[in-house]
Amino acid sequence: MRQLERLPTFLMLILIFYLTGRVQAQEVREKLGAPAALDVVLKDESGSNISLRQLVDRPTILTLNYFRCVGICTPLLNGLAAAMNKVELRPGQDFQVITVSFDPRDTPEIAHQKQINYLTEMTRQFPPRAWRFLTGEAKATKTLADSVGFEFRAEGDQYVHPGVIMVLTPGGVVSRYVYGTTFLPAELQMAIEDASGGKVRPTIARIVSVCYTYDPVSRSYVFNITRVVGAGTLLFAGAFVIYLLAGRKSRARARQMRS
The pLDDT assigned to 157 comes to 87
Instruction: Find, among 242, 248, 249, the residue nearest to 7 by Cα.
Output: 242
Query: Which residue type, as a one-letter code, is found at position 236?
Result: F
The span from the CA of 89 to the CA of 133, in Å, is 21
The span from the CA of 254 to the CA of 250, in Å, is 6
Report yes or no: 149 and 31 within 8 Å, Cβ to Cβ.
Answer: yes
The pLDDT assigned to 254 comes to 65
The pLDDT assigned to 6 comes to 54
SS3 42: strand
Bridge partners for 164 per DSSP: 179
- Assign a CATH topology to domain 31-222: Glutaredoxin (3.40.30)
Show pLDDT as tens, one digit a residue, over the chain (259 residues): 554 455 555 555 545 444 444 434 558 999 999 999 999 999 999 999 999 999 999 999 999 999 988 889 999 999 999 999 999 999 999 999 999 999 999 999 999 999 999 999 999 999 999 999 999 999 999 999 999 999 999 988 899 999 999 999 999 999 999 999 999 999 999 999 999 999 998 886 554 443 344 444 443 444 444 444 555 565 566 666 666 666 666 666 666 766 6
The pLDDT assigned to 71 comes to 85
Q: Would you say the pTM of this structure is higher than 0.75?
A: no
The span from the CA of 62 to the CA of 68, in Å, is 18
The pLDDT assigned to 205 comes to 58
In Å, the largest CA–CA distance within the chain is: 87
The pLDDT assigned to 210 comes to 36
Report yes or no: 114 and 132 within 8 Å, Cβ to Cβ.
Answer: no
Gyration radius of the chain's alpha carbons: 23
